[in-house]
Amino acid sequence: SQQGEEDPQALSIQEGENATMNCSYKTSINNLQWYRQNSGRGLVHLILIRSNEREKHSGRLRVTLDTSKKSSSLLITASRAADTASYFCATDAVMDTGRRALTFGSGTRLQVQP
C-alpha cells in the first residue's frame, strides 16, 4: 500500500501565482522528499526534509512538515510555465521484506498557464 498521497490530484494556475501541493502519510518517517517528473521523463529530486525539521527552502520552493498531522506541503512561489509537471512526495516505509525503502504517492499534476 502507498505510504504517501498527494492532494490535489491536479492543479491548474496562471503564471505568477503560487502553487501549493499537500502530502499525507500513514506511519512514522525518517524523512520526506519531493520529486518532480516532466511528462515521459524520469523523476528529479527537489528537496528532502528530515523528521526533526519543520520547514525548508530551496529557491522558489518551500516545504513544510508536520509530523503530528503526518502531512507535508510543497509551495512553489511565482510559478512559471516551465514548472508544469507532476510532483510526487516520497516517504520511507518498512516494506514486506522488512527493509525500509521509499514509497511514492500518485502525484499532483500541475499545469501553469502562460
Partner 1 sequence: SQTIHQWPATLVQPVGSPLSLECTVEGTSNPNLYWYRQAAGRGLQLLFYSVGIGQISSEVPQNLSASRPQDRQFILSSKKLLLSDSGFYLCAWSVGVSEGTDTQYFGPGTRLTVL
Residues forming contacts to partner 1 in the complex (CB under 8 A) are 2, 30-31, 33, 35, 40-45, 48, 88, 90, 92, 95-97, 99-107, 109
Q: 1: helix, coil or strand?
A: coil
Which of 12, 14 has the CB closer to partner 1?
Answer: 12
Residue closer to partner 1 (CB basis): 33 or 79: 33
Distance CA 59, CA 81 (A): 16
Residue 40's contacts (CB-CB under 8 Å, 6 or more residues apart) are none
Shortest Cβ 102–partner 1 spacing (Å): 6
Whole-angstrom Cα distance, residue 15 to residue 6?
Answer: 22
Comparison of 41 and 80: residue with beta carbon closer to partner 1: 41
**Interatomic CA distance for residues 47 and 56, integer angstroms:** 8
Shortest distance, position 78 Cβ to partner 1, whole Å:
25
